[in-house]
């Protein structure tokens, strides 16, 4: 007896790789392991700004949280409605990270997509075709969370509703129904491998135990990475003891930082330190080369300073800055300081009679 499998349009070809999709500063499916982190919901401006700082410091690339929560999800929590979307947007802009939030109704899709980089369809809405079509048509990247009772095939077909509308989709497993009350709702690691056999879409994992201990999050996150997942979601709150939504379901900043370290993801502070060291090394190399060129020019009687060449270098730097999204005036200031010190070092070497 043979088992008939549904025909999935996105079924992975033997020689195909995972699709690479991008939103804001984050890319999924390129071999990296981006982390999306944040509180269960936007509670206030101060709370989401503090959360953005924690997310950035830990090395996560996306600040994710719920915003326009409907009554069936919010429970006793009073959602801030559309204001929460704007607060999320502004907090993330200040921190330099991307954003993600849930869309619960089709009519919300365009508004949320205008202010947030990534839209999420939660497990309770995974089967709602109109919602899937609306987020697919919004132009934003969409994360489809697997429902607790959904098969992997149903989960993938939900994503295909999004891609049929020319949308970009990513899958996220956040738990299936189980029998043991300590693990019911925790992530199904095997679903990562199964989904990756069926589709080329990136697959994320959200190891938030609906029932269970926060101590499960770290080992499940590490297992997800080992299993080949394309990213991770983590609930983190700057002050979890005072959380107004999903109280008891957040990592505190220290636990979050420890998890990120165990995942091998450097904190933004560590990354900045590394970049600073690289910049100093590159500036030193440039200075040494500049001095050598100046000494050779002096030995041949060629003028060391060429105003035309200096302006050409600055013009090129300004052009490169625009391509990279950096203020050209800022880069010009940096280049002029570097060139000024290079000329002084060249002249000092020539005056000292240094050889190449």
DSSP codes joined into one string, 136-200 = HHTSSEEEEEPPTT--HHHHHHHHHHHHHTT-EEEEEE-----SSTTTTT---HHHHHHHHHH-S
The token duo for 215 is 């101590």
CA atoms within 13 A on the CB side of 139: 8
- Tens-place pLDDT, residues 68-108: 998 888 788 888 999 999 999 999 999 989 999 999 999 99
- 139: phi > 0 → left, psi -120 to 50 → alpha, else beta; which? left
**What is the tens place of the pLDDT at every residue in 9-53?**
444 445 557 889 989 888 899 888 999 999 999 999 999 999 999
The two structure tokens encoding residue 220: 């499940």
Q: How far is CA 73 from each of CA 40, 70, 184, 229, 296, rounded to the nearest angstrom?
A: 11, 6, 19, 27, 73
CA distances to 19, 110, 290, 314, 345 from 339, in Å: 43, 48, 9, 10, 10
How big is the chain by its Cα radius of gyration, in Å?
A: 25
Residue 335, both tokens: 């280049």
Tokens describing residue 25 = 């500063």
Q: How far apart are CA 198 and CA 153, in angstroms?
A: 8
pLDDT at 207: 87
* Closest CA relative to residue 182, chosen from 208, 206, 212: 212
pLDDT one-digit tens code per residue, 232-244: 999 999 999 999 8
pLDDT for residue 276:
79
Q: What is the pLDDT of residues 306-317, one digit of tens each?
A: 889 899 999 999
pLDDT at 113 over 80: yes
* Domains parsed from the chain with CATH numbers: 21-265 (3.20.20.70), 270-351 (1.20.59.10)
Number of C-beta neighbours around residue 311 at 10 A: 10
146-151 LR contacts (CB < 8 Å, sep 24+): 146/171, 146/172, 146/173, 146/174, 146/175, 146/176, 146/191, 147/123, 148/123, 148/175, 148/176, 148/177, 148/185, 148/210, 149/176, 149/177, 150/123, 150/126, 150/176
pLDDT(179) > 60: no
Residue 245 burial (CB count, 10 A): 22
Mean pLDDT in the chain? 87
The helix/strand/coil state of 284 is helix
Residue 61: closest CA among 24, 101, 89, 18:
24
Is 204 a residue whose pLDDT tops 60? yes
- DSSP per position, 288-324: HHHHHHHHHHHHTT--S--HHHHHHHHHHHHHHHHHH
Q: Determine the Cα–Cα distance for residues 201 and 162; give it in Å rounded to an integer.
A: 12
Task: Say what the pLDDT of residue 17 is.
Answer: 77
| Percent of the chain with pLDDT strictly greater than 70 | 88
């Amino acid at each position: 007896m043979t088992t008939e499998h549904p025909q999935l349009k996105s079924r992975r070809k033997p020689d195909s790789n995972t699709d690479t999709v991008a939103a804001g500063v984050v890319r999924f499916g390129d071999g990296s392991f981006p982390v999306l982190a944040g509180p269960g919901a936007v509670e206030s401006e101060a709370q989401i700004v503090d959360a953005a700082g924690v997310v950035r410091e830990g090395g996560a690339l996306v600040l994710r949280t719920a915003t326009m929560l409907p009554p069936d999800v919010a429970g006793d929590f009073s959602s801030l409605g559309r204001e929460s979307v704007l607060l999320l947007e502004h907090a993330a802009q200040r921190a330099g990270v991307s954003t993600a939030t849930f869309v619960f109704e089709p009519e919300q899709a365009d508004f949320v997509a205008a202010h947030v980089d990534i839209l999420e369809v939660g497990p309770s809405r995974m089967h709602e075709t109109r919602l899937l079509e609306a987020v697919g048509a919004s132009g934003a990247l969409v994360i489809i969370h697997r429902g607790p009772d959904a098969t992997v095939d149903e989960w993938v077909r939900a994503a295909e509703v999004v891609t049929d509308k020319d949308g970009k989709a990513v899958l996220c497993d956040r738990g299936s129904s189980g029998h043991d009350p300590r693990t019911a709702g925790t992530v199904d690691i095997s679903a990562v491998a199964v989904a990756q056999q069926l589709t080329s879409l990136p697959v994320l994992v959200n190891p938030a135990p609906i029932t269970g201990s926060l101590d499960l999050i770290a080992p499940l996150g590490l297992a997800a990475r080992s299993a080949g997942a394309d990213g991770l979601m983590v609930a983190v709150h700057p002050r979890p003891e005072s959380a107004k939504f999903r109280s008891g379901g957040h990592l505190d900043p220290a636990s979050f930082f420890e998890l990120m370290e165990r995942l091998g993801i450097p904190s933004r502070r560590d990354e900045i330190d590394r970049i600073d060291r690289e910049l100093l090394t590159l500036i030193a190399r440039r200075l040494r080369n500049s001095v050598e060129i100046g000494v050779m020019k002096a030995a041949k009687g060629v003028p060391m300073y060429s105003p035309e060449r200096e302006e050409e270098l600055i013009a090129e730097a300004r052009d490169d800055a625009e391509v990279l999204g950096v203020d050209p005036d800022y880069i010009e200031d940096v280049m002029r300081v570097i060139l000024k010190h290079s000329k002084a070092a060249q002249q000092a070497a020539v005056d000292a009679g240094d050889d190449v």
